[in-house]
Amino acid sequence: MRVLVTGGAGFIGSHFVRSLLQGMYPSHENTHVTVLDKLTYAGGRDNLPADDPRLTFVHGDICDRELLADLVPGHDALVHFAAESHVDRSVADAEPFLWANVVGTHRLLEQCRQHHVERVVHVSTDEVYGSIQNGSWTELYPMQPNNPYAASKAASDCMARSLHRSFGLDLSITRCSNNYGPRQHPEKIIPKFITRLLRGQDVTLHGDGSAVREWIHVDDHCRGISLVLDKGRPGEIYNIGGGVEMTNRELTRLLLELGGAGWDRVSYVADRVAQDQRYSLDRTKISEELGFEPEMGFREGLLGVFDWYRDNGEWWESRAQG
């Protein structure tokens, strides 16, 4: 089997590729992977093995129709991670998000349709649902995105659905909660706080820190995607929720504890515009249909991530900002 993985040099995509090549997903022991990645500030060739015979790396853009027309034929499946992914950047300038997430997704899926790719997984996010005060979102909830990143992902989900409904492309959509793990760009809250603590700097909390996020280890997310790839039903959406909900304040307390630092290291910055107050996914569907359950305990996972950043300064020092 040949699988095309877009965005495979980024945080989650590279974890998926490394896990697959390491034999973590049964039935993919002989799968060959092609990674297509533009290597934006968020992607790095150093996230992938340099010389695995089952990996081909292609440096390119999912908006490039000619490249896609050459590359897509011959692949049996696509797992589509490539996206602009940082909310704050989308608030500053939404256009790159529309190009990569909407136009790019459309061009990519259109090539998959034309070249009869047999199976597609479109990787999306819980942020498309908006914010929920009580209870949890099932896949039937309407999309009510509140920031340009979430809106562009919601639009990409609509394009993905339309390619299935209009042309029968065998495609499933996954919507996952906030990921954490090694190799996450230090612009995101967990690596940002860890690297700031490691450098002896303060951490900055948005607003009063009461926003609630649901967390999942990247290992669990990628295993969920592999199950959807192998056994998910076409046209269906699968929430992949980690089940660990906490306020950013609680998360900060845990990270301070791991870093041996006190609350005096926290400074406060203005809340994001349109900050979503709470995310919460109902994962009953993927659990009952595909037998998925998250396995990594949050404290254990967070400790592993803290250790990884402590031991891999050369990876993040060039990427860390401010």
Kindly list the distances between the CA atom of residue 47 and the CA atoms of 30, 183, 254, 273, in Å, as whole numbers in the listed order: 21, 7, 27, 32
The DSSP output letter for 147 is S
> What angle do the packed helices 218-231 and 11-21 form, to 10 degrees?
70
Least distance in angstroms from the C-beta of 35 to ligand NAD: 9
CB burial string 48-75: b at 16+ within 10 A, e below: beeeeeebebeebbbbbeebbeebbeeb
Q: Which residue is nearest to ligand NAD (CB)?
A: 10
Question: Least distance to ligand NAD from the beta carbon of 221, Å?
Answer: 7
Q: Is 126 a catalytic residue?
A: yes
Q: If 0-12 CB within 10 Å is exposed, 13-18 middle and 19+ buried, where does residue 310 land?
A: middle
**Interface mask toward ligand NAD for 60-79; x: CB under 6 A:** -xxx----------------
- Find the catalytic residue in 37, 61, 84, 127: 127
Nearer to ligand NAD, 102 or 256 (CB): 102
The least CB distance from residue 232 to ligand NAD, in Å, is 16
127 is catalytic: yes
Give Cα separations from 217 to 34, 152, 234, 284, 300 (angstroms): 24, 24, 26, 18, 10
Selecting among 25, 149, 279, 309, the annotated active-site residue is: 149
Count of residues making up the chain: 322
| Stretch of residues binding ligand NAD (CB under 6 A), selected from 22-30, 176-184, 268-276, 279-287 | 176-184
Residues that bind ligand NAD (CB under 6 A): 6-7, 9-13, 36-40, 42-43, 61-63, 81-85, 100, 104, 123, 125, 153, 176, 178-179, 185
Q: List active site positions.
A: 126-127, 149
